[in-house]
Each structure stands twice: as structure tokens, then as C-alpha cells.
Amino acid sequence: MYRKKKGELLGIIITIIILILIVVFSNMESNTSFFENIVNKLVMPIQNSLTYLKNRISGNSTFFTDINNLKTENQMLQDKNSKLEQSLRELENIKTENETLKEYLGLTEKYGDYKTIPGYIINKDISNYSKVIVINIGKNDGVEKNMTVIADEGLVGHVISVTDTTAKVRTIIDTSSSISCLMSTNKDSIVCKGTLNSNSELKAMYIATDANLIQGDSVDTSGLGGIYPKGIHVGTIKTIVATKNITDRYAIIETAVDFNKLNTVLVIKNN
């Protein structure tokens, strides 16, 4: 009996030691990347097809239409296509002219300064407490760790780990995420953190006591911290929560990006 209990205790101790060794050794950059690639190669082909199927079923009603309809539609589209090609040529001339005019006026497009790589979301973390997403572009496409990820509406997050064909992105709504921001009206600095409560809200903290918060004011990245470039739109101030002690007051920021409907993203290249 004693020997049996001793054996069980020894078994548990050995398991814990092996676990610690696995955690320590596997967290060395090269090892992790190697195993991540293997796991991704195993899971991602099926995951990609399921995501594709899910997108088709949820967002496209023409998936199950009959062939006759498709033929008629095809004919119509071909006609439309030739007309569009003609318009495109005209538009290209106008575009060139427009760009020259923009240069004269000193205008730049919102994110025109950044070189971006487009990608789409293929997986989301299965935990309720983490909001990490996986995108379908990786080292082969030029994605690197700590690159900023944006969508049309604003900031999405940053790359935390990359494999050859995929990248993990920690979104700004993740509770481990923390962004240094500026309020657009008075240029006061705040820190925005993700919350467990919502997929569309951030908590703005460390607000200066003399800062003037305005509801509906736009919040952009400040460029501090070394990950996010300056001037990327994060969201707008939704509510201001006053506390007894003014240093503890905080604001709720509504994110510009709708994370529940987010499908496509852009990764900003560092250089």
C-alpha cells in the first residue's frame, strides 16, 4: 500500500518535471516555430476549407442556385465586363490626373504611407478569455512578428507569432493588449486596454487629471511603445465614467472595427 502511494507520488512528480522541461525547451524561438509549422500543416488545410464553406453558406445566397440561372447571369456579366473595361481605361486616365493634383495639394490617402499585405481570418481562439485570431499570411508573404494589423475602419492588433503560411494576431480587444493613444481634440494621452466584457469596447485608463474628455471624440494611436505607428484610428469615446478619486476615472472606447464581422485585414510592413 505504502509502496503504491509512493509510486503514484513519484509518477506525479516526474510528470510535473517533464512538463516544466517541455515548457522551457519548447519556448525557445526556433523549436516553437518548427512545431507550429507541423501543427499548422496538419490542421490548416481542413480549417481553410471549413472557413471557405462557412463563408459561402453564411454570406452568399447564390451558392445553391441552378445552372440555367448561372448561364444567364454569366452572359449578362460578360456584357457588363466589356463595358466596365472601357470605363476602367477612362478611369485610369482620370486617376493619373487626380494623383498629380493630389500631389500638388499635398494630400495623402489615409493609410497611403504604409505598405500593406492583405489577408483574411481563418481561425479564432477557442478560449473565452483570449481574443487572438489567425490569418492566412505568414513568413512566405513577408509577415514578421510585431507588425501592425489594420482593417478598413481602423486598428485590429499586432502579430505575435508567425509560421510559414499563417500568423497569430493579438487583437486590441484582448485583455493582454495595451495601446498608447491620443485623443484627437486636445491631444491628451491615454492607455487603452481590452476587456473581457465586450468585443467592441476598450477601457481607456491613466487619464491625466487635467485632461478634458469629450464624448464622441476620436482616439488614435500615439506611436509610443514601438509596435503601432502613429495616427491609426482606434475608435471613439463612448462613455466617460467618473469616480470619487479623479485619478481612477476611465472612459469606454467603442472600437472602429467591428470584430464580430471582421474577415479581411491588412498587415503593415515595417519598412
Partner 1 sequence: MKKILINFVLILFAFIIYFLQSNFFNWFTIAGVMPNLFIIYILFIGLFGSRTMALVYSSVCGIILDLLFKERIGVNLIGFVLVAIIATLFDKNFSKDSRITIMFMVMGVTIFFEIITFFMNYILYSMYVEIWSFIKILIIEVIYNIIFTIIIYPLIQKFGYYIENEYKGNKILTKYF
Residues near partner 1 (CB under 8 A) are: 11-12, 15, 19, 22-23, 26-27, 32, 35-36, 39-40, 43, 46-47, 50-51, 54, 123-130, 132, 134, 160-161, 168, 170, 175-176, 178, 193-197, 199, 203
116 vs 175, beta carbon nearer partner 1:
175
47 vs 189, beta carbon nearer partner 1:
47
Report yes or no: 154 and 256 within 8 Å, Cβ to Cβ.
yes
* Cα–Cα distance, 256 to 45 (Å, whole number): 31
Minimum CB distance to partner 1, residue 114 (Å): 24
Report yes or no: 265 and 150 within 8 Å, Cβ to Cβ.
yes
Minimum CB distance to partner 1, residue 166 (Å): 9
Minimum CB distance to partner 1, residue 37 (Å): 9
55 vs 100, beta carbon nearer partner 1:
55
116 vs 199, beta carbon nearer partner 1:
199
* Cα–Cα distance, 34 to 125 (Å, whole number): 20
* Cα–Cα distance, 197 to 176 (Å, whole number): 14
131 vs 233, beta carbon nearer partner 1:
131
The C-alpha cell that represents 164 in the structure block: 510559414
The C-alpha cell that represents 210 in the structure block: 487635467
**216 vs 9, 40, 127, 235, CA distance in Å?**
60, 42, 32, 9
* Cα–Cα distance, 202 to 218 (Å, whole number): 13
43 vs 91, beta carbon nearer partner 1:
43
* Cα–Cα distance, 84 to 252 (Å, whole number): 45
* Cα–Cα distance, 161 to 50 (Å, whole number): 23
Q: Which helix (H) or strand (E) holds 74?
A: helix 67-105
8 vs 113, beta carbon nearer partner 1:
8
Minimum CB distance to partner 1, residue 71 (Å): 33
Minimum CB distance to partner 1, residue 151 (Å): 18
Minimum CB distance to partner 1, residue 50 (Å): 5
Minimum CB distance to partner 1, residue 193 (Å): 5
Neighbours of 207 (CB within 10 A): 21
